Structure 1
Amino acid sequence: MDENGFWRLIEDCQPGVPDPDAKHLAGTLTTRLAAGPLYAVIGFAEHLSWALYRLDRREYGRELSGDVFLYTRAAVVAAGPKAYERVLGDPAEFVPYSTGLVWAESLLYVPDRAYEHITGEEWGRSTRYSYESYSNAAGWADS
């Protein structure tokens, strides 16, 4: 799965109604990925972690706890590629997501659940980039 495929899948699985905790999106993504090849699940996990890692920067999370910051970044990804690019381009666009009213923790578990469905085993995964809050050292370096 390439980056365009990742974002296309996010867009294709978005519900037509408000989904403030991304549970519908996460369920649909899991179902789609679980029906496909394992490499698609791995590719999705890699692109998800990269997207979250890119948002792991001081200008977005300086006043948020680790969990709140992670779930808020996931909400930005769940909003789709246009919203994601707006936030990357202007940190002020992150503010509406950081209210705590829109979290997308469920998005984080999509690869694990799809992997388990396909293999019958838990995934002790690691991805190239960590999506954990404050793991992007360059994003948190003093400017």
Structure 2
Amino acid sequence: MDDETFWNIIEDCRRETPDRDERLGWLRGRLSRMPELEIVQFQICLDRVLTPTFTWDMWAAADMILGWCSDDSFFYFRLWLVGLGREEFEKVALDPDLLAGTPQVRALAGRSPRAWGDHEWPEWEELDYVAGAAFEAVTGKPHEDFHDAHDAQDVEDPEPRHPVGDRWDVNRADEAARRFPNLNALFPAVERA
């Protein structure tokens, strides 16, 4: 599966429904109609397309929006970016400050994360499991076999060990305003002592 096919599936899914849980069901169904190898290749493509978002700038953007972002939350945030669709994903991968223009992010501004509904959270952990679930449904094999089939493709992990770029402190108001003026306007940095 190439990136074009991967993104076509994601775009078809987005057109089908805005609800993330319904999207997962749709994706599972679509992938379950594919040959075993293509299901594994969907996961390989997902891993590959995420790579440009593994940057300190993107992590800073997630920190600003979420208020704090762990390793896991950052990964789930990046999966959520895929759900925005190819055009938006590619724009924000190049300039995370453009997230301030997305309706999904704008809807969160000025509200405490405690007030966000489950459907609003900019995280989509379950996307990382959908190919494995489809593989199990098609083959009847356990989840471990999906990982073995993935490893058998002998594809090197495209992601570097550490995020790309320079790490910076999103809690420094001057730095946040300079680097991400649009996001900072929505989620102002708070200096911490």
Q: Hey, what's the Cα distance between the residues in 2 that align with 1:54 and 1:29?
A: 23
- TM-score normalised by L of structure 2: 0.62
CA change 1:93–1:136 in 2 (3 A) is: farther
1:93 is matched with: 98
CA deviations on 1:58-112 (whole Å, 9 max, x unpaired) are 1111442112111110110011101111111212134639x66222111111111
CA change 1:16–1:30 in 2 (3 A) is: closer
Q: Hey, what's the Cα distance between the residues in 2 that align with 1:3 and 1:31?
A: 20
Q: Which runs of 4+ in 1 moved over 4 A?
A: none
Q: Hey, what's the Cα distance between the residues in 2 that align with 1:6 and 1:74?
A: 14
Give the count of matched residue pairs. Answer: 136
1:104 is matched with: 124
The alpha-carbon deviation at position 6 of structure 1 amounts to 0.3
2:32 is matched with: 34
- TM-score normalised by L of structure 1: 0.81
Deviates more, 1:58-67 or 1:9-18: 9-18
2:140 is matched with: 120
The alpha-carbon deviation at position 17 of structure 1 amounts to 4.7
Q: Hey, what's the Cα distance between the residues in 1 that align with 2:134 and 2:156?
A: 19
Of structures 1 and 2, the one with the larger relative CO (CA 8 A, separation 6+) is: 1
CA change 1:89–1:54 in 2 (3 A) is: closer
Whichever of the two has the greater Rg, that structure is 2
- Percent of pairs identical after alignment? 28
CA contact (8 A) 2:79 2:127 kept: yes
Of 44, 58, 61, the residue aligned with 1:60 is 58
Gaps (5+ residues) in structure 2?
64-68, 114-120, 168-193
Q: Over aligned residues, Cα RMSD in angstroms?
A: 2.4
CA change 1:40–1:138 in 2 (3 A) is: same
Alignment of 1:10 with 2:10, yes or no, is yes
The alpha-carbon deviation at position 140 of structure 1 amounts to 3.5
CA contact (8 A) 1:57 1:136 kept: no
Gaps (5+ residues) in structure 1?
none
Q: Hey, what's the Cα distance between the residues in 1 that align with 2:132 and 2:80?
A: 18
CA change 1:73–1:94 in 2 (3 A) is: farther
Q: Hey, what's the Cα distance between the residues in 2 that align with 1:35 and 1:102?
A: 29
